[in-house]
Amino acid sequence: MDIKDLMVFEAVSRHGRMNRAAAELHTVQSNVTARIRSLEDELGVKLFQRHARGVTTTPAGERMQPYIGRLQKLMADAKAAARDDGAPHGNLVVGSLETTTAIRLSPFLGRFAQAFPDVHLIVRTGTTRKLLEDVIEGRLECAFVAGPVHHPALRQHAAFQEDMVLVTPRTIRTAADLAMVRDLKSIVFQSGCSYRQRLEYILTDMGILTCEPLEFGSLDAILSCVAAGVGVTLLPRGVVARAWQEGRIAVHELPPEHAQVQTVLIQRHDAYVSSAMRAFVEMAQKSPEA
């Protein structure tokens, strides 16, 4: 099995058309078609279903796709290792929860950029579930997520300890008052957010069994909706401190088993650790925000 054939397979699978894959690979369509047929003959299975609009990946092809991503990551790691002379440099793509980025990473990233100016740092935000997937699939080199994390492909380093609080409209004087609110709504990030799951558990523990979730994509939108009386949310204390001081929202303490959340930095066990990545992890572990 030739690595070039696998790269052709990946391009065709992604585009759904032989001609588009050929254009991306700077070759002609006949070469792409020949390589796919050769690969299918070698494997003894059909990888694509042909139709008038192009091709669709078969179940056999779908089972192959994760391995193509791993091979691409291994090739990228091999190149990075060959070029890494020990001085932190090059691109470093990391992920983070939006809340962690807002209250923890800004000062840390400033110090890192000043200490290592030759590193081009890229930060992408997402939910814990999405960040886990991106690290496992090699789209991110590391990510800050809500812990603990239990996955055989990953290792984790303790990063930050968050103190979670229940955030409600100002009209809610105590958390117990939520049980008397009709049609209570939770204001949350999209599915896959660990804070959302924790909020659902807390509300259930309070005897609130039905709570319609409203999904938003930013912290500002979530806090604005809570301040407007739309619903309730769960966020780190540092994220809501300013809105609370301004009197826009109410904040309610939680028992330690609900309030304490460890943010961890995750990496793949088998990924190449570049000098830039090593410097990033070491600085994160020594950060005063931790």
3-state secondary structure labels for all residues of 16-83: CCHHHHHHHCCCCHHHHHHHHHHHHHHHCCCCEEEECCEEEECHHHHHHHHHHHHHHHHHHHHHHHHH
CATH of domain 3-82: 1.10.10.10
With left for phi above 0 and alpha for psi between -120 and 50, is residue 89 left, alpha or beta?
A: beta
pLDDT tens per residue, range 220-271: 999 999 999 999 999 999 999 999 999 999 999 999 999 999 999 999 988 8
| Mean pLDDT of the region 9-25 | 93
CATH of domain 164-258: 3.40.190.10
Asked if the domains at 3-82 and 164-258 fall in one CATH topology, the answer is: no
| Mean pLDDT of the region 1-25 | 91
How far is Cα 284 from Cα 277, in angstroms, rounded to an integer?
10
pTM confidence score: 0.74
Kindly state the tokens that stand for 46.
């059909």
Q: Which CATH class is domain 87-161+262-286?
A: alpha beta
Q: Where are the domains of the chain?
A: 3-82, 87-161+262-286, 164-258
User: How far apart, in Å, are the Cα atoms of 209 and each of 133, 203, 230, 281?
Assistant: 30, 7, 18, 41
pLDDT tens per residue, range 117-153: 999 999 999 999 999 999 988 889 999 999 899 999 9
